[in-house]
């Protein structure tokens, strides 16, 4: 059965009868979980099993589990991970130790996710924040220097993939310079593109072999003065050709205020512009129906990229969780152990 080129959220910790019927009929490529879907380990595991039963496939199930401000799994059932900014802060003093901490951070997260049936993580953030930018990125970043971000992002991706979790680099081609939060409004970047190539765009160019990337809902005037990246064939051609990104390209949430218009039309426009997958996070059934109406089935190059991304979520290698957590805690200054 063909899969719709969409990742859907859902409303609560358990599937409703309406959601089951809709997902069975729409057959989306994947799903994404949020805090509203999380209660206990047993409940999350049952939920991911139910989602896969709906589509009859070991589909991709995503989450945003970065650490710090952005983590959907929290205490008392899961470890409270510090932000990447905290881990990256010691890079200048000890690069090897910072790399190791970032690797363990993501390897431990991968183990947490796999135990629940989650096999894709919308991380790491490759955005390079600048002074005066909106704080939406800030301490989520791996540093304020592109070369540091590249180095630590490689460690982050390795930790996830060795743990059987496919990473999603974000937000391509770079959100760190935005002066407004794209959840609330459309950021506009006026800087000269050659300058951005040596800073904002550089981590994405250097990690162009990542299996998946999430677009930034930003307007970059030097790429397209009229359309945000997600909806711009010009910008997406730049990502493919100039940055060399060959993996699966998924949109950021189509419900964010940076985009305006009918969800069906926006979904059609994003996929026509070159996104492989449209992401819709709200879990509201009327919105999901509109996105489904504007979507298309996965086929051709998009299907090939999706298949490759799935291969990056194969069974993890053997892992001593307790030993890794002990080492990780020695390397970090924040965080608290899970009860039990």
Q: Taking the mean position of all CA atoms in its chain, how far away is CA 39?
A: 21
Strand partners, 70: 67
Q: What would the two tokens of residue 53 be? A: 């039963």
Predicted TM-score (pTM) of the model is: 0.95
Residue 242 CA to residue 197 CA, distance in Å, equals: 9
- At 278 the three-state DSSP class reads strand
Mean pLDDT of 201-213: 98
Residue 85 CA to residue 227 CA, distance in Å, equals: 31
Mean pLDDT of 292-301: 97
> Quick one: fold of 4-331?
TIM Barrel (3.20.20)
Q: Are 135 and 81 in contact (CB under 8 A)?
A: no
Q: Are 175 and 128 in contact (CB under 8 A)?
A: no
* 333 band by pLDDT with thresholds 50, 70 and 90: low
For position 326, what pLDDT does the model report? 96
Question: Which residues are tagged catalytic?
Answer: 183, 252
Residue 76 in this model has a pLDDT that exceeds 70: yes
* 73 band by pLDDT with thresholds 50, 70 and 90: very high
* 339 band by pLDDT with thresholds 50, 70 and 90: very low
């Amino acid at each position: 059965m063909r899969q719709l080129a969409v990742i859907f959220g859902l409303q609560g910790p358990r599937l409703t009868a309406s959601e089951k019927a809709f997902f069975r009929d729409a057959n989306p490529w994947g799903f994404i979980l949020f805090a509203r879907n999380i209660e206990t380990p047993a409940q999350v595991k049952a939920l991911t099993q139910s989602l896969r039963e709906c589509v009859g496939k070991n589909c991709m199930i995503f989450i945003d589990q970065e650490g710090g401000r952005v983590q959907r799994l929290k205490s008392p059932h899961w470890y409270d991970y510090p932000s990447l900014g905290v881990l990256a802060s010691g890079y200048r003093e000890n690069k090897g130790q910072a790399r190791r901490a970032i690797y363990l951070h993501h390897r431990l997260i991968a183990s947490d996710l796999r135990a629940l049936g989650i096999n894709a993580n919308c991380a790491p953030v490759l955005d390079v924040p600048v002074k005066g930018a909106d704080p939406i990125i800030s301490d989520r970043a791996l540093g304020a220097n592109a070369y540091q971000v590249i180095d630590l992002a490689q460690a982050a991706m390795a930790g996830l993939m060795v743990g059987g979790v496919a990473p999603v680099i974000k937000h391509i081609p770079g959100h760190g310079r935005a002066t407004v939060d794209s959840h609330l409004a459309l950021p506009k970047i006026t800087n000269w593109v050659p300058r951005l190539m040596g800073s904002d765009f550089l981590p994405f160019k250097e990690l162009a072999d990542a299996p998946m990337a999430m677009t930034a809902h930003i307007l970059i005037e030097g790429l397209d003065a009229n359309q945000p990246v997600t909806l711009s064939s010009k910008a997406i051609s730049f990502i493919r050709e100039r940055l060399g990104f060959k993996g699966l390209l998924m949109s950021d949430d189509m419900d964010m205020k940076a985009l305006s218009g009918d969800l069906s039309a926006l979904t059609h426009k994003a996929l026509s512009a070159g996104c492989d997958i449209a992401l819709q996070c709200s879990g509201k059934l009327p919105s999901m129906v509109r996105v489904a109406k504007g979507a298309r089935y996965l086929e051709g190059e998009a299907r090939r990229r999706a298949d490759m991304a799935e291969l990056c979520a194969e069974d993890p290698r053997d892992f001593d969780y307790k030993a890794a957590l002990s080492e990780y805690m020695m390397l970090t200054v924040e965080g608290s152990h899970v009860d039990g």
